[in-house]
Amino acid sequence: QVQLAESGGDSVRSGESLRLSCAASGSIFSGNTMGWYRQGPGKQRDMVAIITSSGSTNYADSVQGRFTISRDNAENTVYLQMNSLKPEDTAVYYCNYRARFVNSWGQGTQVTVSS
């Protein structure tokens, strides 16, 4: 099992920045993909950004150029730097870990962006 602990969610104004962190613990496989998903009010959970253990990344079109995902493999931690935040970025952000047959989710952290 893999446990994920997220932090960094907050309420900010449009144009400001936030940095989310997610630390993984437990049975970590070296070849894994970690990422961030979000679920806005009344919406489905969508991918925001993912990063493989080798550093390959993929972003949702809506955050390309504003968000940056990174990771520290030694600390099993993934980060999401969010710049130029918009009200439509308001959502619960969930950390995800995938490797082999394991697919784990964090509890979520709220990000609220006001105009």
The 10 Å CB-count burial string (b at 16+, else e) for 27-57 is eeeeebbbbbbbeeeeeebeebbbbebeeee
Residue 5 has pLDDT above 90, yes or no: yes
Structure tokens belonging to residue 72: 């520290």
Question: Tell me, what's the pLDDT at 100?
Answer: 86
pLDDT per position as a tens digit, 77-113 = 999 999 999 999 999 999 999 998 899 999 999 999 9
Question: Tell me, what's the pLDDT at 30?
Answer: 85
Q: Could you tell me if 66 and 83 are in contact, meaning their C-beta atoms sit under 8 angstroms apart?
A: yes
Find residue 54's DSSP bridge partners.
none
Section 37-49 average pLDDT: 96
Distance from C-alpha of 41 to C-alpha of 21, rounded to nearest angstrom:
22
Q: Could you tell me if 15 and 115 are in contact, meaning their C-beta atoms sit under 8 angstroms apart?
A: no
pLDDT per position as a tens digit, 7-23 = 999 999 999 999 999 99
Question: Tell me, what's the pLDDT at 105?
Answer: 98
pLDDT per position as a tens digit, 68-77 = 999 999 999 9
- Residue whose C-alpha is closest to residue 47's, from 99, 91, 11: 91
